Structure 1
């Protein structure tokens, strides 16, 4: 058992160094009509310093460039902007992202026609190319639900926080209230930040998110059932949930929202986050049942101790790294 614990501890520490929590940012492509045959292009790729992901946008032969590319690095992104011409208009335009088939990054595509209508889709390793055959109203809904699910499932800090919430909720009723409180709280700040009602610097927010995990890890390790965290876990989940909402909003700000369907896209992104959250909780429950079946001596108390040490150690690494960005 000790060997397994040590192996899991090493694995999670390795994940913390290589993944660095919530850094799996998508690339994005926006094609917007200037008139019926001319279009502006904004190609945005995640970057660190002056190094970017090796992803390149390639149009079909029916597209010609009318202005040279302008290139710059801004806010952890490599950005190219230029204009193109296509005599046949937007319908039928085709392009691919070179290098995407070997990458785990998604590319969010927005195509805006002259009537300000937006077609939205996502490219990935399984779908590195796209051709605009027709507008589909369900594309925005499906795209932003998918992005929400993907974001929560690769947001390791959010997942660790949810895991810790489970272990301070001593009954099913408390767990339901705790997760509901977290959902309501982060939904409020996500909507407020995404619509511009509230603006807050993301670096200190991400540092406090890491600190929230450290706090919960300590509470789980202490096992003081009389503490405020164990007696009223919904207060903890909703308080820190407000900050997690700003974290979700920072990712959504990089993804962007379609002009004509901003509210719809925002709501469905949040729906995707909640679905991803439920998927993760269900997976944890299944994992615990399977582990208990394979190793009957395992007790919830022992598992809680492991989770507290793992979560606290990883979150401390994130906290130190994020404080270094101030």
Structure 2
């Protein structure tokens, strides 16, 4: 029991500090052959932002000072660039990224609306713009599947929700249907939001997403077989899945969609999210299997309270933090 308590305390400490895994994003859009508009967006975490700076090669100049502002808990820089040779061969470096955690999503759009998407991180903080050509359908599918997988695997609130679904589903067969219901529901709202068919403010949605985890954690701790969640897990996962879809859409809005393949990119991103969910659930079962072999006292039942309290306390922290940011 002491070991379980230590695991619980460590998990709460680590997760409460690691909630906001939103990547920074750098978007460069050509206004003509040699003029470019830049949007650099960095999330504010725990009241401060990561000290990142977008740097460019000597052939690139900045004709006017940057404008800076804070919107929706993000630090935003807008500025213009001029490069007579055009985009091709432009060297981009994110200073401050080496040795740091987190990614920067780079999106480059030329004046023909051709798009390049790349991910910069501590191992690869530099990027040289290649000859820009229109993305093939295969390029679009691969790029957005990878982005979808990456997003779900760093989106801790979505992962905690999926972890809670493992408990409320009760059996592996029902777990498959429960996660499928969650998938179908958030796919619907993801498509509606990403195509601007249905638009709602994101900050309240993020707070309710945290509340959905608190609700499921409470249901897991009570373990009342006649409760709504345990009796109808598919209904519950589908209902909350509608909200999570808006959360996925907000991230996709920051990444952007190619103008000529919006639907394909949207579906590919959603497939990536589902692949990420399956990988996460498989990892959960693998870890549980190994722990149960190493420590015989570990069962789904002995982990019920540590799991529910960890998820509930962390999600409560996120909920109040998100409500305070309105």
Out of 55, 60, 63, the residue aligned to residue 58 of structure 1 is: 55
State the Cα deviation string for residues 256-296 of structure 1 (Å, max 9, x = none). Answer: 33333332332222122111111100000101111111122
* Superposed counterparts of 1:135-284, under 5 Å: 135=132, 137=136, 139-284=139-284
SS in 1 for 2:162: helix
| The 10-residue stretch of structure 1 (64-73 or 264-273) with the greater mean CA deviation from structure 2 | 64-73
Q: When the two structures are aligned, how many residues end up with a matched partner?
A: 323
CA contact (8 A) 1:121 1:140 kept: no
State the Cα deviation string for residues 195-241 of structure 1 (Å, max 9, x = none). Answer: 11112222222222222222222222222223332222101110111
Structure 2 stretches lacking a partner, 5+ long:
none
Quick one: distance in 2 between partners of 1:31 and 1:321?
31
CA contact (8 A) 2:24 2:42 kept: yes
CA contact (8 A) 2:152 2:273 kept: yes
TM-score, length-normalised on structure 2? 0.91
SS in 2 for 1:100: coil
Cα distance change on mapping 1:324 and 1:62 into 2, 3 Å:
closer
Superposition deviation, residue 244 in structure 1 = 1.1
CA contact (8 A) 1:118 1:260 kept: no
Quick one: distance in 2 between partners of 1:212 and 1:124?
31
Quick one: distance in 2 between partners of 1:213 and 1:161?
5
Q: Is 1:318 paired with 2:285?
A: no
Q: Counterpart in 2 of 1:118?
A: 115
Q: Counterpart in 2 of 1:105?
A: 102
Q: Counterpart in 2 of 1:17?
A: 16
Quick one: distance in 1 between partners of 2:46 and 2:7?
32
TM-score, length-normalised on structure 1? 0.91
Cα distance change on mapping 1:171 and 1:283 into 2, 3 Å:
same
Provide the alpha-carbon RMSD of the alignment: 2.1
Structure 1 stretches lacking a partner, 5+ long:
none
CA contact (8 A) 1:224 1:230 kept: yes
Out of 39, 42, 47, the residue aligned to residue 44 of structure 2 is: 47
CA contact (8 A) 1:16 1:317 kept: no
Quick one: distance in 1 between partners of 2:71 and 2:309?
37
State the Cα deviation string for residues 152-174 of structure 1 (Å, max 9, x = none). Answer: 12222211111111111122221
Cα distance change on mapping 1:319 and 1:49 into 2, 3 Å:
closer
